[in-house]
Amino acid sequence: MYRNLHYKIILIFVVFTITLMTAIGAILVSSAYSFYNKDFLDQMNDALSPDGALCAELREALGGEDFATRQKEILRSYSGQLGISKYRNYYILDAGGVYLEGSDARLGASLEITANMIAAMAGNYGTEKQFHTDYIDYAVPLVGEEHACIIYIKDLQNEARSFSIMVFQIALQALFIGLAIAVLLSFFLAKAITAPIGRLTEGAQRIAHGKFEEEIENRSDDEIGILTTAFNHMKNVLKDTMDEITGERQKFETLFLYLNEAVVVYNNAGKLMHINRTARSLFRTDGDGMFSDGTTLNFSRMLRSMGLDYREISEKYKENSSHIVHDVMFDEQVVDVNFAEFRYFERNEEMHGIMCVIHDNTSHYELDKARREFVADISHELRTPLTGIKGALETIIEYPMLDQEIRDNFLNMAVEECDRMTRIVSDLLVLSRLDNKRTAWKIETFSPSKFLDHIYDVMSVEAKKRSQTFTRTYPMDMPEITGDREKLQQVLINVVSNAMKYTADGGTVSITATPAKKGIAICVADNGMGIPKEDLPRLFERFYRVEKARSSDAGGSGLGLAIAKEILDAHGGEIRVESAVGRGTSVFVTLPYISILTEEKA
């Protein structure tokens, strides 16, 4: 209860009031005693002055044998001046302090020797107030011609005590009244102080729980009111700051979670702190970085799994607080691993951790590899006809007297190789335009059956040359399609031409078509040599040719299927190949009813 500020304020007022009234009472009581003692001494000094009338008369009375009786009468006559009462008496003592006469014989017979008596016995006035006594006394020595005596006045201070008790009672009554007033006033004062403080406390507790909506009511213009206004302003600033921090944190978490790069964060002990989705997928862990065997992806295990040396990485990292390892082969991928220092706070202490950012360079690596292979392939493809042309021309130059027929054969061979180079360059230009989206498309709507009839008529001549059976099967009322007719014919002619090239003379090639959900489904099938399974995924790569075909007389640049796929992709169509060695090949082509080029052109 006493920890409450409200009760503390009341307790302070109560203690203050008690202390104040106690001090006042003590001062009043002490002042009463001091006043009474001073008044007694002043009264005695005036009445018993050595040159005063009373002392003169008392000295004259010392002349006879009954001086004590005579002095008693004199003192009785001065009782009013001496203040003699029930509690204040006078006594006549001989020079040795023995009682002779007095106003109270009973008390006089039992008088104790006091310090003032001893002073008077020595011939001095005894006027000192002794501490720790319940009386005050006054002793005057008188010396005559025949006798000597001591006039001794003793006051029991009953009146002073009665007065002090009365003062104490008054002070006690004032204390209770003051306490009542103090408690009442302190209650209202404490209420006035603690009520706004209580509201501030409730507001602070709401802020601690993240509730910033409610304003604290300000009911005064004093210091507490100013504090309340400042608190409300602080709350609004804190809310804006927390909203900004929360927004930045959410953006960071979203960025961290969906970052394409794999990010793994470790503390200074190498224990996992954070791991994003890409890293979990890369290392095949759960959301907490745990493997299926219950172990965690700590720093050393990550390095081991990527084939990196812990000691080497640590030494290079310590030099600059960062390190990059390029072209790391990991799980059939090529990655760059970046190590960087980051700081965080733990238990109000700044700590240093390490952040690992793993960038997937597989596509760039494959692109660079494909670029090198492309240069090698095109060099090879161009070198072959150039070698033939050079050989033919060198033969003609070296033997100018060759027979005309042989000479014409060499010249025709050079022309054929030039045509082959022209076709390669032309195909490369087509691919370049397709890659850079600079192809001029001629979009039109046409009948699929007539489109296939034209292809059949064109390729029938080639089939007859090879004594191959070339058949067609498709309905004549198929829905019309929209696209670049000339480019699509190039695709189908290339596919049928490949089928005939890689099918032995006397073999079978067929074209079938049927309307499907996505478009016209066309299949070009043959019973030729077939394609090995391992070569199927690479058939649409540029300059790629199956080795069996490469060793045959079929020739080809290896760009036909790549061009076909690019044309179909541009239309929104599809092409795929199914084949088995010795069983033939089937090429499936889907021509969309409405090409996506139509929408782009619109």
Give the pLDDT confidence of 100-120 residue by residue, as tens digits.
888 888 888 888 888 888 888
Q: Has residue 217 been placed in a domain?
A: no
Pairing of strands 508-515, 469-473: parallel
> Minimal CA–CA distance to 489: which of 541, 553, 444?
444
- Least confident range from 21-25, 265-269, 365-369: namely 365-369
Same domain for 13 and 154?
A: yes
Q: Are 271 and 302 in contact (CB under 8 A)?
A: no
Is there a single domain that holds both residue 461 and residue 481? yes
What percentage of residues in the chain have a pLDDT greater than 90? 12
The pLDDT value recorded for residue 552 is 40
Q: What pLDDT, on the 0 to 100 scale, is given for residue 520?
A: 93
Mean residue pLDDT of the chain comes to 81
Q: What pLDDT, in 10s, does the model give residues 422-471?
A: 766 776 676 667 667 777 788 899 999 999 999 999 889 889 999 999 99
Q: Are 586 and 508 in contact (CB under 8 A)?
A: no
Q: Which residues contact 581 (CB under 8 A, 6 or more apart)?
A: 529, 530, 531, 532
Q: Is the per-residue pLDDT at 501 higher than 80? A: yes
pTM score over 0.95: no
Domain that holds residue 23: 6-162
What the block records as the tokens of 484 is 């670049």
Confidence of residue 585 (pLDDT cuts 50, 70, 90): very high
Q: What CATH number is given to the structural domain containing 318?
A: 3.30.450.20
15 domain-assigned: yes
Spatial strand order in the sheet of 272-275: 272-275, 262-266, 349-360, 333-346, 322-330
Chain position carrying tokens 């060793």: 551
pLDDT tens string 307-349: 888 787 777 777 777 778 887 887 778 888 888 887 877 777 7
Tell me the per-residue pLDDT of 233-284, one tens digit each, with 9 for 90 and over.
Answer: 887 888 788 778 778 777 776 776 667 788 888 888 878 887 888 878 778 8
Nearest 10 degrees: CA dihedral of 548, 552, 556, 557? 60
Parallel, antiparallel or unpaired: strands 519-526 and 584-592 = antiparallel
User: Are residues 465 and 410 part of one domain?
Assistant: no
- CATH number assigned to the domain comprising residue 418: 1.10.287.130
Whether residues 376 and 455 share a domain: the answer is no
pLDDT at 549: 44
55 domain residue, yes or no? yes
Looking at the structure, tell me whether residues 431 and 291 fall in a common domain: no
Answer yes or no: is 501 within a domain.
Answer: yes
CA distance 231 to 499: 85
> Does residue 140 share a domain with residue 97?
yes
**Opening angle at CA 91, ends 88 and 96, nearest 5:** 140
Q: Which of 107, 134, 162 is the endpoint of a domain?
A: 162
- Is 108 part of a structural domain of the chain? yes
Distances (CA, A) of 473 to 378, 470, 485, 510, 512: 38, 11, 20, 8, 5
The answer to whether residues 481 and 397 belong to one domain is no
* Tokens encoding 243: 């909203």
Verify that 411 and 310 share a domain, yes or no. Answer: no
Q: Does the structure show a pLDDT above 90 at 406?
A: no
353 vs 480, more confident:
480
Nearest to 542 by CA among 570, 561, 568, 569: 561
- 479 and 412 in one domain? no
Q: Is it the case that residue 3 has pLDDT exceeding 60?
A: no
Shared domain check, 385 and 421: yes
Query: Does residue 517 lie within any of the structural domains?
Result: yes
335 and 396 both lie in a single domain: no
Cα distance between residue 434 and residue 563, in whole Å: 8
Residue 245 in domain: no
Q: Do 376 and 313 have their domain in common?
A: no
Which residue among 162, 192, 212 closes a domain?
162
Judge whether residue 139 has pLDDT over 50.
yes
Name the burial class of residue 143, with classes exposed (0-12), middle (13-18) and buried (19+) by CB atoms within 10 angstroms of its CB.
exposed
Q: How wide is the angle at C-alpha 165 spanned by C-alphas 164 and 169, nearest 5°?
A: 115
User: Given 3-state DSSP classes, what are the helix, strand and coil percentages for the chain, each rounded to the nearest 5?
Assistant: 55, 20, 25
Q: Quick one: pLDDT at residue 574? A: 92
Selection from 144-158, 380-394, 469-483 with the highest mean pLDDT: 469-483
What's the total number of domains in the chain? 4
Judge whether 329 lies within some domain: yes
Which tokens sit at 558?
Answer: 């290896």
Per-residue burial over 487-514, b if 16 or more Cβ lie within 10 Å, else e, is: bbebbbbbbbbbbbbbbeeebbbbbebe
Are residues 410 and 392 in contact, defined by beta-carbon separation less than 8 angstroms? yes
Q: Of 360, 376, 404, which residue sits at a domain end?
A: 360
Torsion angles phi and psi, residue 8, rounded to 5: -65, -45
Q: What are phi and psi of 359, to 5 degrees?
A: -100, 125
